[in-house]
Structure formats: structure tokens, C-alpha cells
């Protein structure tokens, strides 16, 4: 395996859509603050508070739609564990959602998987690690090459299985 010690570069361009459920709201608030500080263009697609219990697939789908509608854009989804949001998002062809709670996975999901959607669990990690993960994810480029071939294959297999576009 290639080295993982790549230095994060400058922030990659593109709008970031962000969404959460009630369990991810606290972490989302911190990440939105960070994105403002970094002057990243963002679309906050809810939810709007932690008080009301909401259904994560509904908020996840808003971010999935935003990312699929604007090539080159990216999304961040946060629920309690990150599991529901990542299961949901990865059902849609063209979405490569990575659940990351450490920096190694964050670097590799960009370098090898070109993850266009970052998922975190607001009940799993604290705000400082969450912010470091976002900074790393936004500044680590895709390696391309053989990894692009594998991503092309992945999309091809998903479309063969379900030509309508939705992954199984």
C-alpha cells in the first residue's frame, strides 16, 4: 500500500451541502462554524434543532440530491452513529459516502475512494476531532489512476444491477 503521510494541500473547490438529524445537530453546528471560518461555500439543509426527533433518511436525501445535482460538489452528513446516514447515502449511484471517525480513514477515503460525501456520528466523536476530519477531508486530493478504474467499475456494476440509477 502507498504511504498515507500525504500532506493535506489547500482546500479543494466546490460547494459543500451539509445535513443531519437531531442526533447530529450539535456536531453539525460546530462544522458549519468551521466551514464559515474556512470560507467554504455551503448549503445547510437541516435539520434545524436537536429537540425534535426527525427521520435521518429525509435529511440525508436532501444532501444526496444536492451533491448529485452539482458535479464537483460534496456533502457532509451527521447522525448519531453515522451508520444510518452512510447506509442511506450509498444506495444512490454516484454517491461515495465514507463514514470516518479517524484521520487515517479520512485521508484514504479521499485518496483511494474519492469520497464525495463524508459521514460522521455526533454521538461517537467530539467536535475537535470532527473539525480535524472535515479539514483533512476537504484538503486531501484523490490519487486517480488505478483507483479511478475501480470507481468506474463500481458504478458500472451498480448500474447493471439497477439501470434506473439507484444502487441496491
Residues recognised as catalytic: 79, 112
One residue of 18, 19, 21, 120 binding ligand RB5 per CB under 6 A: 21
Is the Cβ–Cβ distance between 118 and 98 less than 8 Å? yes
Total residues binding ligand RB5 (CB under 6 A): 8
Stretch that binds ligand RB5, among 26-34, 58-66, 81-89, 144-152 (CB under 6 A): 81-89
Residue 83 as a binder of ligand RB5 (CB under 6 A): the answer is: yes
| CB proximity list for 166: less than 8 A, separation 6 or greater | 91, 92, 93
Residue 130 as a binder of ligand RB5 (CB under 6 A): the answer is: no
Mapped onto helix, strand or coil, the DSSP state of residue 92 is strand
Residue 60 as a binder of ligand RB5 (CB under 6 A): the answer is: no
Residue 81 as a binder of ligand RB5 (CB under 6 A): the answer is: yes
| CB proximity list for 111: less than 8 A, separation 6 or greater | 2, 4, 6, 140, 141, 142, 143, 147
Q: For 66, what's the count of Cα atoms within 13 Å in the CB-facing half-sphere?
A: 23
Residue 80 as a binder of ligand RB5 (CB under 6 A): the answer is: yes
Stretch that binds ligand RB5, among 30-38, 62-70, 76-84, 151-159 (CB under 6 A): 76-84
Phi then psi for residue 162, to 5 deg, are -145, 90
Residue 63 as a binder of ligand RB5 (CB under 6 A): the answer is: no
Stretch that binds ligand RB5, among 73-81, 91-99, 133-141, 151-159 (CB under 6 A): 73-81
Is the Cβ–Cβ distance between 81 and 115 less than 8 Å? no
Residues interacting with ligand RB5, by CB under 6 A? Answer: 21, 23, 56, 79-81, 83-84
Amino acid at each position: 500500500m502507498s504511504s498515507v503521510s500525504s500532506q493535506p494541500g489547500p482546500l479543494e473547490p466546490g460547494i459543500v451541502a451539509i445535513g443531519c438529524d437531531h442526533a447530529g445537530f450539535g456536531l453539525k453546528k460546530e462544522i458549519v462554524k468551521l466551514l464559515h471560518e474556512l470560507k467554504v461555500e455551503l448549503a445547510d439543509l437541516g435539520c434545524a434543532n436537536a429537540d425534535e426527533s426527525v427521520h435521518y433518511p429525509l435529511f440525508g436525501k436532501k444532501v444526496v440530491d444536492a451533491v448529485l445535482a452539482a458535479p464537483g460538489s460534496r456533502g457532509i452528513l451527521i447522525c448519531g452513529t453515522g451508520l444510518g446516514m452512510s447506509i442511506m447515502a450509498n444506495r444512490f449511484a454516484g454517491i461515495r459516502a465514507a463514514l470516518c471517525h479517524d484521520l487515517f480513514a479520512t485521508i484514504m477515503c479521499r485518496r483511494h475512494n474519492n469520497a464525495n460525501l463524508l459521514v460522521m456520528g455526533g454521538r461517537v466523536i467530539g467536535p475537535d476531532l470532527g473539525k480535524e476530519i472535515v479539514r483533512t477531508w476537504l484538503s486531501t486530493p484523490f490519487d486517480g489512476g488505478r483507483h479511478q478504474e475501480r470507481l468506474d467499475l463500481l458504478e458500472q456494476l451498480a448500474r447493471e444491477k439497477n439501470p434506473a440509477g439507484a444502487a441496491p
